[in-house]
């Protein structure tokens, strides 16, 4: 034996090949069915095009943008204040692709066409699998339109730019750009969920000191925000108090006269995950802003934006689950242990099938809510359902994601814990959708508030469930439980999590029973409603049709 041959210690074997260039739309049966079922199928060509990008170039870019976190540049070398955030080129490329393909603007580019929000939800679902950090500015840009529409003059100037396709990171006045990004500032140090505890103030500008010709009342804002994501946006919707109460404002980065607005970044947050996204703390040192919506009605105004960002939290978590599942399926298809591929080991099949079931149910609920949002403007039933189901879905789908991603990670064994692959990043990201845009308890309390103040939401919810009555015995039993769950009003608040969980499960069951695959629907009802399941994934009954559940989830060849 030569000396060199002695150092050939081993051959690399029994490892999965790299998973590259998967069309994330073409290969995802549950996603395609959900998009079509909920009326977004006409966007299929756009979804297929973005599915190829998201599963190819965007995946590589996502890894780079997260390895190279944004850096705060407060000053230039001469000491001038900059208040800029420097991003890796991969970040800008992801933003450019996302914006060009409509992750922010698609629904507004196709405004009025039924299913536009559903198709756009599909684009966001694809994008988020490759990079989660950029999903933050993209979703806020998408969602701001709901608040801006309160001010027709502002909306006329801003909405076409928010829907624009040419990402432009250069700092210049908003109306000098063709495409804009917009963020949101609500949370302060002394109160996030409880925004009425805000102390930031807005002072109306006297006639002579107004700038620009926007035509709306102009203010100066003094105060701070403790969480202020995407501080490189062109503008933010911000809450501040006037004498009339808490009010919503649009504060641009550059004022219409071309000077820099007085929004000072204090520092960037050092976060568990979400690394490609910059989240900052800021002070408003007399920042120029225009009022959006009536004075004193700021919470109601910004909540219209938040309703859409909450939908996007659901999309984000459902899409994280899907990508984690794809990784788990790919690994177990190629890795053998104890004489069989992992995907053929009976206990692993139980885990994978259970994850597939959960992922499909999360996707089905998400796209049903997207349809309700989509139809809200013209259909009161759908508007009432959207009001309630957004909170239900935001609570449940986002809560399911961290344990799900951990289980998928475990399917890869040690490799799932190592930064060479995408699972650690997915795992770090997984808790976030549950925390921001109103944390879990806030969603549950919001469900109770909607039910008590807007009785039409209860009617819409039970009508939706009623349409699946008689399709499954477990489901029918669950309807009985839910009908009685609200009787003891004295204990509703303390029971809210349990109630909302079961409302979510029943809604998922109804959607699957009416329009989904029969095996998926029946297994879902037996396990999630019938109690035939343990507390962790991988505890489906022995008689489960594992082959169908796994077969639907395995990425299909394009
Ligand atoms: C990475 C990141 C980026 C963010 N970006 C932004 C941004 O761009 N703009 C922005 O405005 N905000 C942003 N946020 C803030 C986020 O929306 C808030 O952190 C969140 O809404 C919770 O508010 P809080 O942190 O003040 O917690 P608190 O309001 O103090 O809540 C703490 C806990 O108490 C619970 N709770 C509150 N009230 C009740 C109650 N009555 N009963 C039971 N439980 C209750 C909550 O559910 C939560 O679990 C961001 C947060 C993160 C982590």
Q: How many CA atoms lie within 13 A of 152 on its CB side?
A: 0
The Å distance, Cα 522 to ligand 1 centre, comes to 37
Distance 447 CA to ligand 1 centre (A): 17
Nearest CA to ligand 1 atom 11: 186
**Could you tell me if 536 and 387 lie in one domain?**
yes
> What integer is the mean pLDDT of 159-166?
98
Does residue 238 fall inside a structural domain?
A: yes
- Cα-to-centroid distance, 436 and ligand 1 (Å): 6
Closest-CA residue, ligand 1 atom 43, reads 441
Average pLDDT (93-97) is 98
DSSP code string of 395-457: HHHHHHHHHHHHHHHHHTGGGGGSTTSSHHHHHHHTTHHHHSSS-HHHHHHHHHHHHHH-HHH
Which atom of ligand 1 is closest in space to residue 442's alpha carbon?
A: 47
Give the pLDDT mean for 521-544: 94
Q: Which atom of ligand 1 is nearest to the CA of 441?
A: 47
Helix (H) or strand (E) holding 325: helix 298-334
Query: What mean pLDDT, rounded, does the chain reach?
Result: 96
Residue 5 lies in a domain: no
Q: Is residue 23 part of a domain?
A: no
Find the 310 Cα to ligand 1 centroid distance in Å: 13
What confidence score (pLDDT) does residue 54 get? 98
Same domain for 547 and 480, yes or no, is yes
Closest atom of ligand 1 to CA, residue 229: 8
* pLDDT tens per residue, range 387-429: 999 999 999 999 999 999 999 999 999 999 999 999 999 999 9
Do both 231 and 101 map to the same domain?
no
Distance, in Å, from the CA atom of 437 to the CA atom of 456, rounded to the nearest integer, reads: 24
In the predicted model, is pLDDT for residue 350 greater than 60? yes
pLDDT, position 73: 97
Number of domains in the chain: 3
Does 180 reside within a domain? Answer: yes
Residue 279 CA: which ligand 1 atom is closest?
3
Q: Give this prediction's pTM.
A: 0.97
pLDDT at 210: 78
**What pLDDT score was predicted for residue 213?**
55
Q: Are 119 and 43 contained in the same domain?
A: yes
Both tokens of 428, joined, read 């770090």
Using CB distances shorter than 6 Å, the residues near ligand 1 are 183-187, 191-194, 227-229, 271, 274, 279, 432, 435-442
Mean pLDDT of 31-59: 98
Q: Looking at residue 65, which CATH number applies to its domain?
A: 1.10.540
**What is the predicted pLDDT for the residue at 67?**
97
Same-domain check for residues 390 and 293? no
Based on the fold, state whether residues 395 and 448 are members of the same structural domain: yes
In which band, very low, low, confident or very high, does the pLDDT at 224 lie, cut at 50, 70 and 90? very high
Share of the chain above pLDDT 90, in %: 95
- 408, 347: one domain: yes
Q: Residue 558's pLDDT is what?
A: 62
**Residues 468-474: what's their mean pLDDT?**
98
Query: What's the mean pLDDT in 511-533?
Result: 94
Helix (H), strand (E) at residue 53: helix 44-54
DSSP at 360: H
192 CA: nearest ligand 1 atom = 26
With respect to residue 448, please indicate whether it lies within any of the assigned structural domains: yes
Residue 312 parent element (H or E): helix 298-334
Inform me whether the pLDDT recorded for 330 exceeds 70: yes
Domain that holds residue 51: 29-144+151-162
Provide the pairing of β-strand 235-242 with 245-252: antiparallel
Q: Are residues 206 and 130 in the same domain?
A: no
State the Cα–Cα distance between residues 389 and 397, nearest whole angstrom: 11
Protein residue closest via CA to atom 23 of ligand 1: 192
Give the pLDDT mean for 495-515: 98
Give residue 532's pLDDT: 80
pLDDT of 214 reads 59
Q: Which DSSP string corresponds to 145-157? A: HHHHTTSHHHHHH
Distance CA(60)–CA(20), nearest Å, equals 9
156/43 same-domain check: yes
The residue among 298, 316, 331 that closes a domain is: 298
Domain end (from 241, 268, 298): 298
- Based on the fold, state whether residues 237 and 359 are members of the same structural domain: no
Question: Is 557 a residue whose pLDDT tops 90?
Answer: no
pLDDT of residue 173: 95
336 and 222 within one domain: no
CATH value at residue 286: 2.40.110.20
Ligand 1 pocket test: which of 66, 223, 439 has the largest number of ligand atoms within 8 Å of its C-beta? 439
Q: What is the pLDDT of residue 516?
A: 81
Half-sphere exposure of 130 (CA within 13 A, CB side): 35
Ligand 1, atom 51, lies closest to the CA of 436
Tell whether 169 is covered by a domain: no
Residue nearest to atom 44 of ligand 1 (CA): 441
Identify the CATH number of the domain in which residue 503 sits: 1.20.140.10
Between the CA of 192 and the centroid of ligand 1 the distance, in Å, is 5
| Residues 130-155: tens digit of each pLDDT | 999 999 999 999 999 999 999 999 99
Q: Using 50, 70 and 90 to split pLDDT, how confident is the model at 212?
A: low
> Residue 493 CA: which ligand 1 atom is closest?
42
Q: Is residue 4 part of a domain?
A: no
22 lies in a domain? no
User: Would you place residue 215 in the very low, low, confident or very high pLDDT band (cuts 50, 70, 90)?
Assistant: low
> Can you give the pLDDT at residue 4?
77
Pairing of strands 218-229, 235-242: unpaired
Same domain, 485 and 512: yes
Task: Examine the fold and report which residue of 235, 267, 298 is the final residue of a domain before the chain moves on.
Answer: 298
């Amino acid at each position: 034996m030569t000396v060199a041959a002695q150092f050939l210690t081993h051959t690399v074997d029994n490892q999965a090949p790299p998973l590259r260039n998967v069309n994330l739309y073409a290969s995802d049966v549950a996603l395609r069915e959900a998009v079509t079922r909920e009326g977004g199928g006409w966007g299929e060509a756009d979804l297929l095009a973005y599915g190829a990008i998201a599963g190819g170039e965007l995946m590589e870019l996502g890894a780079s943008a997260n390895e190279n976190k944004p850096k705060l540049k407060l000053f230039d070398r001469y000491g001038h204040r900059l208040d800029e955030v420097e991003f890796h080129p991969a970040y800008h490329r992801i933003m450019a692709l996302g914006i060009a393909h409509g992750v922010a603007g698609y629904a507004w580019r196709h405004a009025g066409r039924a299913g536009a929000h559903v198709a756009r939800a599909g684009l966001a679902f694809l994008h988020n699998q490759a990079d989660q950090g950029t999903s933050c500015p993209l979703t806020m840009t998408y969602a701001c339109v709901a608040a801006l529409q309160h001010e027709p003059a502002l909306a006329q100037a801003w909405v076409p730019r928010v829907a624009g396709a040419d990402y432009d990171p250069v700092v210049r006045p908003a109306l000098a750009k063709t495409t804009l990004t917009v963020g949101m500032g609500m949370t302060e140090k002394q109160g996030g969920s409880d925004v009425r505890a805000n102390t930031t103030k807005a002072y109306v500008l006297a006639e002579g000191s107004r700038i620009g010709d926007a035509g709306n009342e102009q203010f100066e804002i003094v105060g701070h925000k403790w969480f202020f994501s995407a501080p490189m946006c062109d503008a933010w919707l911000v809450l501040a108090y006037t004498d009339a109460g808490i009010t919503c404002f649009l504060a641009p980065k550059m004022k219409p006269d071309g000077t820099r607005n007085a929004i000072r970044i204090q520092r960037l947050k050092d976060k568990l995950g979400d690394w490609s996204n910059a989240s900052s703390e800021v002070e408003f040192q007399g920042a120029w802003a225009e009022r959006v919506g009536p004075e004193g009605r700021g919470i109601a105004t910004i909540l219209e934006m938040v309703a859409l960002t909450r939908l996007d939290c659901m999309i984000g978590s459902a899409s994280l689950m899907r990508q984690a599942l794809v990784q788990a399926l790919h690994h177990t298809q190629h890795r053998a242990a104890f004489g069989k591929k992992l995907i053929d080991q009976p206990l692993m099949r139980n885990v994978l099938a259970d994850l597939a079931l959960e992922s499909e149910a999360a996707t089905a609920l998400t796209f049903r809510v997207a349809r309700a949002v989509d139809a809200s403007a013209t259909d009161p039933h759908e508007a009432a359902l959207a009001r309630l189901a957004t909170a239900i879905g935001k609570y449940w789908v986002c809560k399911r994601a961290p344990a799900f991603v951990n289980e998928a990670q475990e399917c890869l064994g040690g490799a799932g814990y190592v930064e060479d692959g995408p699972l650690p990043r997915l795992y770090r990201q997984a808790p976030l959708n549950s925390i921001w845009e109103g944390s879990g308890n806030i969603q549950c309390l919001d469900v109770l508030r909607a039910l008590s103040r807007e009785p039409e939401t209860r009617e819409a919810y039970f009508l939706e469930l009623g349409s699946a009555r008689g399709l499954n015995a477990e489901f029918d039993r669950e309807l009985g439980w839910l009908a009685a769950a609200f009787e003891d009003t004295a204990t509703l608040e303390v029971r809210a999590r349990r109630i909302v969980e079961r409302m979510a499960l029943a809604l998922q069951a109804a959607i699957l029973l009416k329009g989904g695959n029969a095996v998926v629907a029946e297994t879902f009802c037996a396990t999630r409603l019938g109690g035939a399941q343990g507390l962790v994934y991988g505890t489906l009954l022995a008689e489960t049709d594992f082959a169908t559940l796994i077969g639907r989830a395995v990425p299909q060849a394009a």
